[in-house]
Amino acid sequence: MDILLQIYAKVGAFIQSEEFIQSVFNNRFYLILLVVFLTRLKNATYTSMWMSALVNIPGTFLHELMHFCIGGILNAQPCNFALLPKRSPEGDYVMGSVGFRNITFYNAVPAALAPLLLLPIGFYVNRYFLPIMEPTLVNYVLYVLLQTIIVENAIPSRVDFDVAGKYFSGVMLYLVLIAALLLML
């Protein structure tokens, strides 16, 4: 038993050493390894709908919150906000949803693609929060977990793209606006 405590103490001291922590922070291999591990761990929960829902709720909340906020700002009139999973008519599980009463050509594209706004938030966290974090292994794992949740849930779903694509005039309006902005830069 004493040998196990000694091994535990030595491993703990090594993991908490400044050299090890700096090597983890400065090596992108460890970052990729951690992201892949977290993704595999998350995918392992997909055998249970409720376990999957529990793991996905933080990201689903952020994703649906973006739809709700942008839809509200652009008069799409959000009418419901759901986080718990439900079975779709096709037999898939929908992890969350926001319903709107007033989807039109001018608000369909931004309301449907609103989760993309999580990307600047993730960039902000990386740029301004990571440098002031105390460099510990736990903080680093929490940082990578938060960034993985933010970036993964910034990707609009197939349904989101379908809603945005239903309004051709809206798609054209936003393509012209984006082109104009790019030309002004």
* Pairing mode, strands 78-82 and 97-100: antiparallel
Within 10 angstroms of residue 159's Cβ, the number of other Cβ atoms is 12
| Least-confidence region, from 9-13, 37-41, 43-47 | 43-47
Residues 61 and 161: their CA atoms lie apart, in Å, by 19
Q: Per-residue pLDDT for 21 more than 90?
A: no
Q: Per-residue pLDDT for 65 more than 70?
A: yes
Burial of 80 (0-12, 13-18, 19+ CB in 10 A): exposed
Tens of pLDDT, residues 141-172? 888 889 989 999 999 999 899 999 999 999 99
Distances (CA, A) of 162 to 14, 18, 108, 113: 51, 49, 10, 10
- Residue 1: what pLDDT? 64
- pTM to 2 decimal places: 0.80
Q: Per-residue pLDDT for 135 more than 70?
A: yes
- Residue 109: what pLDDT? 95
